[in-house]
Structure 1
Amino acid sequence: MIHAAAPAADPRNIRAVATIQAVGNAKAGEPVRFRGVAYTGGMLRVAGFESGVVIDLAGLQIPGSLPIATDHRSDLDARLGSATARVEDGALVIEGTIVPGTPSADRAIALMRAGGLSLSIGARPVKLERLRDGATINGQSFAGRPEVATESELVEVSAVGVGADRGATAIAAGATPTGGGADPVIAERERIANIDASFSGLAGDEAQGIRATAIKDGWTLERAQGEALQLLRASRPNVNGVRGASTGGVSPAEKLTAAALTLAGQDAEKLIGAGAASEGAGLGCNSALDLCAAALRMEGHTIPTSRSQMIEAAVSTTSLPIALAAGVEKVALDSFMNAAEPWRMFARKISLRNFKPTELVRLAASARFLELGGDGELKHAPIGEETGNIRLRTFGRIVGLDRRTIIDDDLQILNDIAGELGREGARTIGDIVNETLEAGVGTFWHTDNGNVMTGSGSALSVDAIAFAIALVRKQTDSSGRRIGLMPRFLAVGPDNEAFGRAVLNSLEVEVAEGEPRGNPVRGALELLVDPRIEGLQWYVFTDPRDACLAVGLLDGRESITLEQREPPAEKLGMQWRAFIDAAAALR
């Protein structure tokens, strides 16, 4: 006998859960057929995908027949029937049959007829990508940056206990829905189309986030239209306001952000603007619980009397997590830009569009200007030559607020945590820069390149600095032509700081015979101190325009990025992923 064990479950497999119903009139013992929407095309919150995942239906491989099982089991007793699937109007429609005769199948049929069976659609991702801002998948836009399964395989369908995609429903084929309503497949398509129409013309992450939630959570059209109307009213300028006193155009999330910043002791006017600061002050928030109440009030929800229930309801809104994340980003950006990091002074910042290796190019020697001949013809020359490549990396952590912190009115995430996130982002880039400088020893920093000093003459001194300045000015291109670089900075570590200041600031120095002379390098360079530079090492750098070191940032974004993250089920609160995309390379 040969036993072939099933492969272990892949934690990155996607299981999109849908609820189906059966109200057909099949006779006892006969198979029960059903049809419906298995996946509405929205974002799924499943294990292994912290920021959610979207299945791109255009890249979904659908087999001719799918097994229907129980709880994703592969044994024969778990087999309930089979189904087929197809993509229609941005949704995954399934039709299938459940065969009675086993306890699992009979239970599934009973639940279907009672209106409460859930099916989990199992898909295996083949290719995953991070969703770009503004991109549309399955005819929908999404807030944040969830992962997208651009290519995937539909593997199986299982009966499970609880459904998650509340917009996906089905009924028994040929049956009339409970209450005599319309075909749920057609009704669901119409609901999604009407919600999309309600939010058309409303731009921004807040509007798209509410639209996606309305589709995913099965909101009624009336509720979705009410939310869209509130956003539309908030986006209109206050034409009746007194000039200078009105702040028309301030969104509800911006008001909450300003109120949260003020409550945390931050300068809201500096960080988010005078208009939003004024509107935020008008909310009258004197505690974190007041913020929760304001968020609920803005979205038209009833405010619970219990503090715990109020917090639970508020963290489920769209406005509060977005507002706090925006506040953290504002404070973090301010701290990031004010962090004293030497790399800002001498590194050249470049914008990178993606995480692929990017070539660094400089002007080629053969591109030098040539004298125009008598025929008046200009000669062609290559634009540049490759000097290496640079590739982005991502660094980050998870931060959040729990229920106890909110009750204690301790918004330290907008003070200590946000400020430290910004400073840590700048420090992280500094670490990358130092690693890159160290990695260049023996390759980039080489005697053949005329950019390194070794031996006893390399110790920091007036003569050593003068020699280094001369080396910088003598740098040449590949044809041997001098480039004309201008030395500007002397970078040292803590062990050389005092001596470096003395050398650059002294009016006179002593020669070997003990007679004083004027200091030839006084004021020639600006001193930079980096605690990462070990021992007695030192560097002379040029202006960033001619820098030998490039710092790459995704889309040129010089700050950390925050993305909302669903906290674990056992934790009540809010969480965000804080990260920065950066790289460094010598050129």
Structure 2
Amino acid sequence: MSTATIDEILFTAGSVDIQAAGQTHPEVSILAYSGGLMTVPGWGPVVIDLRGIDIPAAQVGILADHDSSLKGIVGHGRASVHDGRLIVAGAISPSSETARQIIELAKGGFRFQASVGVTPTDYERVPPGQSIEANGRSIKSPASGFLFVKFSTLREASIVAIGADASTSVAIAASQKESQMPEETTTPTAEQIREQAASETERITAIRRVCGGRYVDIEATAIRDGWDVQQAELAALRESRPKPPIIHARDHAPTNATIEAAILSHMGCEGLAEEQLGPQAMQQARDLRCTNLVDLCHYSLQADGRDTPQGREAMIQAALTTYSLPVALGNAANKVLFESYSETPATWRAFAAIKSAKDFKDHTGVRPSDTGDLSEVAKGGELKHGSIDESTYTYSVDTFGKMLSIDRRDIINDDLSMFDDTARSLGRAAMRSLSDLVYKVLLANAGSFFAGGNGNYDEGVETALDAAALAIGLARMMAQRDDENRDLDIRARTLLVPSELQQTAKELLQSDFIQRANDDTPTGNALKNAVSLEVEPRLSNAQRFAGTSAKAWYLFGSRQDAALIVAFLQGKQSPTVEFFGFDADPNRLAATWRVYFDYGCALGDFRAAYKAKGEA
């Protein structure tokens, strides 16, 4: 699986069927997504709601290894959702060398895997332990939580050689050699291919249910070798029987994943290691029985196929020059940093639209206003042309970064606490710096974004936060219209207040009754749960930000209304940790990493926001 971004998630599919025998354009059927929880590198667990996926009506491009250039296009097909699964069925056009190579490999029995590109448009994080209903099943959030993509757009489907999930199964009907196929055999239809893919998926799901994540080797073998459920049950039963204690000899050098899991475990993050690297890697890490960092130096040298020097000092110095130890430490830091980053509050996520910037240049966004109504179609089916009056805004991204390192003294002292604390601190700092930028932009009010002339700003004593003022704000947003006075149907979704107004806001939105002085007025709270509440201390932090107020409050529409834009370079919404090398400081014996983050912020559509000055 390719490294994913929030703007274009690439994930492994269940199966690919290629009908290659005797056809000019061989048929292909791709089980693109089975509807469950998947792990996306850099983002962790992800679930995509197929009810909210926008599928192109015409066709979906079928690529090789996500290569969107002309040489990477190998065919096209149509996508559809069946029983909580995403399927792409189409044909391969053998007009390129890549397409012909795929067909020949399929004839020869190679089992392909698949991956698709999806652009999320609305998503949220599901807290640990919480369950949601999606794709016809109940999905419980793991210890790290997961990203739930509510709405998205299908971009493309790709045929790949190796996916990230080693246990995914690929059933290719063309793997039988042509000489073994009777001449009178009829080429299966696309519907038959889809049925084969669905049957294979059901077999894999049943095997995984039997193994239950406890018998990883049995599960992988059963899927790879085409076992039925009864064979898998029998093997799992045998494996579950008690065994006499034996002495295990290590026949193979530990893998990088095993070393990484051991490092995370040593940092007190065993749950994170098992979630991100899998139970097998975690068990292998336990089997190493590392009691200190020097043990990890020994196994890092083994993983690189290097002899272990005599003496503690020599072994540590040699380990710091390996590939395995610095990379495993960097990957562990990346996971800890991302966990800390994800858990840091970010109130702007409730109302800001997420954009992807392909480079560091200025990018242009559009605020469209439809002009003209839908007209009745006359006989003959001729449609009349409409027009779009557009206004624009610009946004760009910049780079923010820090350095992270661990030296031989930390290893000798068996101390990863500073490394762990630094990674967590950088994760929190990354989100904090991003939130700082968002609220600097909001409070700066560039171009009189909040103004009476825009219909999104009020001031005066009557704007102090209370039931009447909030009702006025809600009405202001509903009254927003385009240049031809057509209603835009924008509704306030979020009330944003400084810390000083938190109590008042909760009373307004959560109370069952509002006490009135006059007995003949209603006492029910008409504003209860009218909008969600976000409390942001930066709005009143005059020491750090300009334009602050302890009395002003805001309303925002949904994220799709794009009142505020937060952009990330190539859509990557988290910091990147990279091994920088030992030449960062030649005078210091240390492994060094760089942590950097590319993001930007801009004001978007003023009609989707409202500000009250809140004078008392």
Query: How far apart, CA to CA, are the structure 2 residues paired with 1:283 and 1:292?
Result: 12
Partner of 1:296: 301
Note the C-alpha offset of 1:236: 9.5
The correspondence of residues 414-493 of structure 1 with structure 2, limited to 5 A, is 415-440=420-445, 443-493=448-498
Q: Partner letter of residue 265 of structure 1?
A: G
Query: How far apart, CA to CA, are the structure 1 residues paired with 2:587 and 2:394?
Result: 45
Q: Is contact 2:254-2:302 (8 Å) kept?
A: no
Query: How far apart, CA to CA, are the structure 2 residues paired with 1:486 and 1:532?
Result: 25
Partner residue of 1:525 out of 505, 528, 531: 531
Q: Is contact 1:359-1:389 (8 Å) kept?
A: yes
Tell me: CA distance 1:286–1:419, structure 2 relative to 1, closer, same or farther (3 Å): same
Q: Is contact 1:289-1:311 (8 Å) kept?
A: yes
SS in 1 for 2:218: coil
Partner residue of 1:556 out of 571, 574, 578: 571
Deviations 1:78-136 (A, max 9, x none): xxxxxxxxxxxxxxxxxxxxxxxxxxxxxxxxxxxxxxxxxxxxxxxxxxxxxxxx99x
Partner of 1:579: 596
Note the C-alpha offset of 1:386: 4.2
Please say if 1:391 is aligned against 2:406.
no
Partner of 1:541: 556
Q: Is contact 1:473-1:485 (8 Å) kept?
A: yes
Partner of 1:260: 263
Note the C-alpha offset of 1:241: 8.9
Query: How far apart, CA to CA, are the structure 2 residues paired with 1:308 and 1:479?
Result: 78
Query: How far apart, CA to CA, are the structure 2 residues paired with 1:367 and 1:420?
Result: 53
Query: How far apart, CA to CA, are the structure 2 residues paired with 1:430 and 1:265?
Result: 29
The correspondence of residues 53-64 of structure 1 with structure 2, limited to 5 A, is none
SS in 1 for 2:572: coil
Return 536-545 or 436-445, whichever deviates more: 436-445
Please say if 1:569 is aligned against 2:586.
yes
Q: Is contact 1:271-1:331 (8 Å) kept?
A: no
The correspondence of residues 232-251 of structure 1 with structure 2, limited to 5 A, is 242-244=217-219
Deviations 1:170-207 (A, max 9, x none): xxxxxxxxxxxxxxxxxxxxxxxxxxxxxxxxxxxxxx
Return 528-537 or 364-373, whichever deviates more: 364-373
Partner of 2:17: none
Tell me: CA distance 1:373–1:443, structure 2 relative to 1, closer, same or farther (3 Å): farther
Query: How far apart, CA to CA, are the structure 2 residues paired with 1:511 and 1:250?
Result: 76
Query: How far apart, CA to CA, are the structure 1 residues paired with 2:253 and 2:385?
Result: 54
Q: Is contact 1:335-1:423 (8 Å) kept?
A: yes
Deviations 1:6-60 (A, max 9, x none): xxxxxxxxxxxxxxxxxxxxxxxxxxxxxxxxxxxxxxxxxxxxxxxxxxxxxxx
The correspondence of residues 219-230 of structure 1 with structure 2, limited to 5 A, is none
Note the C-alpha offset of 1:448: 1.3
SS in 1 for 2:458: coil
Query: How far apart, CA to CA, are the structure 2 residues paired with 1:409 and 1:570?
Result: 22
Query: How far apart, CA to CA, are the structure 1 residues paired with 2:216 and 2:381?
Result: 66
Q: Is contact 1:256-1:323 (8 Å) kept?
A: yes
Stretches of structure 1 lacking an aligned partner (at least 5 in a row): 1-133, 136-231
Note the C-alpha offset of 1:244: 4.8
Tell me: CA distance 1:512–1:383, structure 2 relative to 1, closer, same or farther (3 Å): same
Query: How far apart, CA to CA, are the structure 2 residues paired with 1:383 and 1:310?
Result: 69
Return 366-375 or 453-462, whichever deviates more: 366-375
Query: How far apart, CA to CA, are the structure 1 residues paired with 2:535 and 2:474?
Result: 18
Partner of 1:22: none
Partner of 1:346: 351
Q: Is contact 1:246-1:275 (8 Å) kept?
A: no
Please say if 1:315 is aligned against 2:320.
yes
Q: Partner letter of residue 586 of structure 1?
A: L
Partner of 2:280: 275
Note the C-alpha offset of 1:275: 2.8
Note the C-alpha offset of 1:560: 0.9
Query: How far apart, CA to CA, are the structure 2 residues paired with 1:236 and 1:244?
Result: 10
SS in 2 for 1:579: strand
Deviations 1:462-505 (A, max 9, x none): 11111111111112234332111121211111111111111222
Q: Partner letter of residue 484 of structure 1?
A: D
Note the C-alpha offset of 1:375: 5.1
Partner of 2:193: none
Tell me: CA distance 1:244–1:492, structure 2 relative to 1, closer, same or farther (3 Å): same
Return 243-252 or 572-581, whichever deviates more: 243-252
Deviations 1:140-163 (A, max 9, x none): xxxxxxxxxxxxxxxxxxxxxxxx
Note the C-alpha offset of 1:250: 12
Tell me: CA distance 1:453–1:307, structure 2 relative to 1, closer, same or farther (3 Å): farther
Q: Is contact 1:355-1:393 (8 Å) kept?
A: yes
Q: Partner letter of residue 243 of structure 1?
A: I
Q: Is contact 1:327-1:414 (8 Å) kept?
A: no
Note the C-alpha offset of 1:322: 1.3
Q: How many residues align?
A: 356
Query: How far apart, CA to CA, are the structure 1 residues paired with 2:515 and 2:601?
Result: 40
Tell me: CA distance 1:563–1:510, structure 2 relative to 1, closer, same or farther (3 Å): same
The correspondence of residues 495-510 of structure 1 with structure 2, limited to 5 A, is 495-510=500-515
- After superposition, the CA RMSD in angstroms is 3.3
Tell me: CA distance 1:316–1:386, structure 2 relative to 1, closer, same or farther (3 Å): farther
Q: Partner letter of residue 287 of structure 2?
A: G
Query: How far apart, CA to CA, are the structure 2 residues paired with 1:413 and 1:273?
Result: 26
Query: How far apart, CA to CA, are the structure 1 residues paired with 2:322 and 2:578?
Result: 15
Q: Partner letter of residue 296 of structure 1?
A: L
Tell me: CA distance 1:325–1:509, structure 2 relative to 1, closer, same or farther (3 Å): same
Partner of 1:355: 360
Q: Is contact 1:565-1:577 (8 Å) kept?
A: yes
Partner residue of 1:407 out of 412, 422, 428: 412
Q: Is contact 2:400-2:597 (8 Å) kept?
A: yes
Q: Is contact 2:371-2:386 (8 Å) kept?
A: yes
Note the C-alpha offset of 1:392: 0.5
Note the C-alpha offset of 1:305: 2.7
Query: How far apart, CA to CA, are the structure 1 residues paired with 2:535 and 2:516?
Result: 27
TM, length-normalised to structure 1 = 0.56
Deviations 1:291-337 (A, max 9, x none): 21111111111212333322222121111111111111112222222
Note the C-alpha offset of 1:584: 1.4
Tell me: CA distance 1:407–1:510, structure 2 relative to 1, closer, same or farther (3 Å): same
Q: Is contact 2:501-2:551 (8 Å) kept?
A: yes
Query: How far apart, CA to CA, are the structure 2 residues paired with 1:469 and 1:436?
Result: 23
Query: How far apart, CA to CA, are the structure 2 residues paired with 1:280 and 1:383?
Result: 60
Q: Partner letter of residue 573 of structure 2?
A: E
Q: Is contact 2:576-2:595 (8 Å) kept?
A: yes
Query: How far apart, CA to CA, are the structure 1 residues paired with 2:364 and 2:221?
Result: 50
TM, length-normalised to structure 2 = 0.53
Note the C-alpha offset of 1:262: 0.9
SS in 2 for 1:364: strand
Stretches of structure 2 lacking an aligned partner (at least 5 in a row): 1-65, 68-161, 168-214, 225-251, 541-549, 605-616
> Identity percentage over the alignment?
33
